[in-house]
Chains A and B, each alone.
Chain A
């Protein structure tokens, strides 16, 4: 490690060379100048995206002038190319926004394109000042008796990163194919996709360890030691991870499932390594719930065997209406609401005799548990219209007020005054 750091520190010595300082100064000055000009809008007619090309043009002009003076310009050209590439990435951002959804475009840029570009740019600059071969074999230290070099570590990091970031689309594609072939449900497809990703990441990590030449016996010994550490130190993290895997295999908490959380139906969006991401329709909130919560606590789900939910609205009708007529009207009304399932048929019940009304319940089935509140609203509106059309009264609570005389022995009922 110290050798590599010394090597990198040694590059500072190039600043002793006037030609290097001249090139670097030009690039830094033009980049900062372009940035300042863009922030202050010095060229009023120029769009924001037009400042970088102006800066790049000036850089090319400077390189040409230095070339005429027979001064080295390779570094200037390289840094200019890096700048140009970065600018091209910004242009690409606009194109990607046209083709891909915002989130996918953002992920592609931030997780793949920009990191890859930065790595390539840094390697290109390093190649100017040193031999990449030399740097690649620079020893960093020993790991389980294996000498780790900078190149090996770099390759390992790149492979792990690419596996972590890049295994998503292939896993999704394979899961989609299997879904089409076998006819599995959407939730199972998503579960399979996640399991494939975990499998690829696991295999990738093992492949990297083998590539590094790590001693497998030592790895097993370390894994044994780690298991004790896991028991004490990071057991929560590990417990959540294992819970997540278990839930995936069990199939009770998969992306797309609907669970009740604090009385609200929530849809599972993502089953992560540590936590499950749920979406609550009521307020569009996204909830991160540790996986082990679902593993250790009881949960209500509407999507375990099917996605149907039986819903209910309550309503009161005046005492003078025939309950049989009200019940028939309620059931007929529910059947007319489009999002109420005809089968099983809606069912109305007389629940109790209230203070001012007879209380009825109308129970019906819906296809999507997440739509419960909206469908209940539609049913309630339909009941109001049906009652109005059939002159069925939804009574207000009725109370009779009369004055009292104290002491009670002297009180005379109101009727006596009339």
Chain B
């Protein structure tokens, strides 16, 4: 057929078809057919492009990509029972680099159809015009906790993304070295005094659980809400900063510059206890096997810990074709239906469902129990999380103060005073 076309072209144009001209003609026609997708018999693959944001405690390596791929494969195979020809293609980006990456890809019309990212990041992307608001129907909205949806609302009422799963903050310990995990902060200090190696990350988001155990979360909420602080509020914040500095003075409690370093040390057996995210569990299970234990974060005199759990959402990309957008919406709806949510939870044992009607079978697994408890405890910080976003400039300065506090450069009282002053100021 092609040679007939070339001959006809040559005849029509009156030009003798030299081999070089024929090559050019073949390239041109191939390009034309390829680009328009109208070549008989050639059908473009039906793909759903996903961008997956990774948190700071996750390194994009073969293991992580394989892990994400395996989880998506399960969803893909289920989804293909309804939409047979659809394939998934994902690209992982660190959450703090996803904004420029999406700006670049959207600018070329090559952005993903869907983004699986933290709720906060989704709000940033929609605000920046790099993702589209999610069209929420009342039926769909009914599946989620109103509080979760509220946290994803933009000032104009748009929804930044559809909640899908929850990553929980937990405590991970080495059963061989620490048969009984500490259930309180006091037990944590006692364990370190007995020779157990404890690791904590200096990152504010992974360290804030201690504020709940020391009863400082309500005070922090009042600070951020710019309410008048009582003496008790200031004392509770000072208790928290004092505990942090005391902990850093302990010989066997080590503060790491980031969560990834603490995880590496723990997975190689040099640490016996760390706080961890449920997303770290597959990797830790591979390295520690049956020695890995998972429990709740230690409570304290102020009550239970205040873990910061991450609500992961599906946000809509802006470059999709009509068919691509339809696939993205279909998959979003599919991923929150109770059956799929249950299989995600049971299949991975590291994720909690966002669908409030899916009951987590906590009796079947200690890990699920700990995740469920963590989710309940995180409600203490829900309002605070709603007021503070990851891109809040105050958090960077607060991080600097915490670092100075842990290294003993400033006193607990000074740190508390500076932190209060910082968070009271509007960004």
Interface residues in chain A, defined as those with a beta carbon under 8 Å from any beta carbon in chain B: 3, 7, 9-10, 12-21, 23-25, 28, 32, 35-36, 71-75, 78, 127-131, 133-134, 137-139, 147, 149
Q: Are B110 and A20 in contact (CB under 8 A)?
A: yes
Q: Are B107 and A74 in contact (CB under 8 A)?
A: yes
How distant is B395 from chain A, measured CB to nearest CB, in Å? 25
Cα A74 to Cα B110 in complex, Å, equals: 9
B285 within 8 A of A: no
Q: Are A134 and B37 in contact (CB under 8 A)?
A: no
How distant is A382 from chain B, measured CB to nearest CB, in Å? 58
Q: B37 to chain A: which residues have CB within 8 Å?
A: 15-16, 21
Q: Are B87 and A10 in contact (CB under 8 A)?
A: yes
Report B74-92 residues with CB < 8 Å from chain A CB: 87, 89-92
Q: Are A17 and B62 in contact (CB under 8 A)?
A: no
| Complex: chain B residue closest to A23, CB-CB | B109
Cα A137 to Cα B323 in complex, Å, equals: 30
Assuming A72-B107, A128-B105, is B321 touching A28 (CB within 8 A)? no
Cα A130 to Cα B60 in complex, Å, equals: 14
Q: A128 to chain B: which residues have CB within 8 Å?
A: 104-105, 108, 110
Q: Are A21 and B45 in contact (CB under 8 A)?
A: no
Q: Are A134 and B35 in contact (CB under 8 A)?
A: no
Q: A20 to chain B: which residues have CB within 8 Å?
A: 108-110
Q: B28 to chain A: which residues have CB within 8 Å?
A: 28, 32
Cα A139 to Cα B63 in complex, Å, equals: 10
Q: Are A137 and B35 in contact (CB under 8 A)?
A: no
B65 within 8 A of A: yes
Assuming A10-B89, A18-B321, A75-B110, is B65 touching A28 (CB within 8 A)? no
Q: Are A133 and B110 in contact (CB under 8 A)?
A: no
Query: Given B34, B62, B92, which contacts A149 in the complex, CB threshold below 8 Å?
Result: B62
Query: Digit string of B45-84 for contact with A (CB within 8 Å is 1, else 0)?
Result: 1110101000000001110111001000000000000000
Q: Are A17 and B60 in contact (CB under 8 A)?
A: no
B101 within 8 A of A: yes
Cα A12 to Cα B110 in complex, Å, equals: 11
Q: Are A74 and B109 in contact (CB under 8 A)?
A: yes
Q: Are A19 and B109 in contact (CB under 8 A)?
A: yes
Q: Are B47 and A10 in contact (CB under 8 A)?
A: yes
Query: Given B45, B87, B91, which contacts A130 in the complex, CB threshold below 8 Å?
Result: B91
Query: Given A17, A73, A75, A139, which contacts B320 in the complex, CB threshold below 8 Å?
Result: A17
How distant is B331 from chain A, measured CB to nearest CB, in Å? 14
Q: B362 to chain A: which residues have CB within 8 Å?
A: none
Q: Are A72 and B106 in contact (CB under 8 A)?
A: yes
Cα A18 to Cα B24 in complex, Å, equals: 25
Cα A63 to Cα B107 in complex, Å, equals: 12
| Complex: chain A residue closest to B37, CB-CB | A15
B93 within 8 A of A: yes
Q: Are B92 and A75 in contact (CB under 8 A)?
A: no
Q: B61 to chain A: which residues have CB within 8 Å?
A: 137
Query: Digit string of B317-358 for contact with A (CB within 8 Å is 1, else 0)?
Result: 001110110000000000000000000000000000000000
How distant is A83 from chain B, measured CB to nearest CB, in Å? 15
| Complex: chain A residue closest to B36, CB-CB | A21
| Complex: chain A residue closest to B108, CB-CB | A74
Q: A12 to chain B: which residues have CB within 8 Å?
A: 44-45
| Complex: chain B residue closest to A31, CB-CB | B31
How distant is A154 from chain B, measured CB to nearest CB, in Å? 14
Q: Are B101 and A131 in contact (CB under 8 A)?
A: yes
Q: A19 to chain B: which residues have CB within 8 Å?
A: 109, 319
Assuming A21-B35, A23-B108, A128-B110, is B44 touching A7 (CB within 8 A)? no
Q: Are A28 and B319 in contact (CB under 8 A)?
A: no
Query: Given A24, A25, A72, which contacts B319 in the complex, CB threshold below 8 Å?
Result: A72
Q: Are B45 and A78 in contact (CB under 8 A)?
A: no
Query: Given B89, B90, B323, which contacts A16 in the complex, CB threshold below 8 Å?
Result: B323
Query: Given B32, B89, B91, which contacts A13 in the complex, CB threshold below 8 Å?
Result: B89
How distant is A124 from chain B, measured CB to nearest CB, in Å? 10
Cα A20 to Cα B49 in complex, Å, equals: 14
Report B262-320 residues with CB < 8 Å from chain A CB: 319-320
Q: B60 to chain A: which residues have CB within 8 Å?
A: 131, 133-134, 137
Q: Are A28 and B45 in contact (CB under 8 A)?
A: no
Q: A28 to chain B: which residues have CB within 8 Å?
A: 28, 31-32, 35
Interface centre among A19, A21, A75, A134 (most CB of B within 10 A): A134
Query: Given A7, A13, A72, A133, which contacts B92 in the complex, CB threshold below 8 Å?
Result: A133
How distant is A208 from chain B, measured CB to nearest CB, in Å? 19
Cα A312 to Cα B410 in complex, Å, equals: 97
Cα A127 to Cα B111 in complex, Å, equals: 11
**8 A-B pairs with the lowest CB-CB distances in the bound complex, closest first:** A74-B108, A13-B47, A74-B107, A19-B109, A72-B109, A131-B91, A75-B108, A10-B89
Query: Digit string of B392-405 for contact with A (CB within 8 Å is 1, else 0)?
Result: 00000000000000
Known: A25-B36, A139-B62. 7 other contacts (CB 8 A): A17-B321, A28-B28, A36-B24, A74-B108, A128-B108, A131-B60, A134-B60
How distant is A125 from chain B, measured CB to nearest CB, in Å? 10
Cα A3 to Cα B68 in complex, Å, equals: 14
How distant is B97 from chain A, measured CB to nearest CB, in Å? 10
Q: Are A137 and B47 in contact (CB under 8 A)?
A: no
Q: Are B45 and A13 in contact (CB under 8 A)?
A: yes
Cα A137 to Cα B63 in complex, Å, equals: 9
Q: B107 to chain A: which residues have CB within 8 Å?
A: 72-74
Assuming A10-B47, A32-B28, A133-B92, is B62 touching A147 (CB within 8 A)? yes
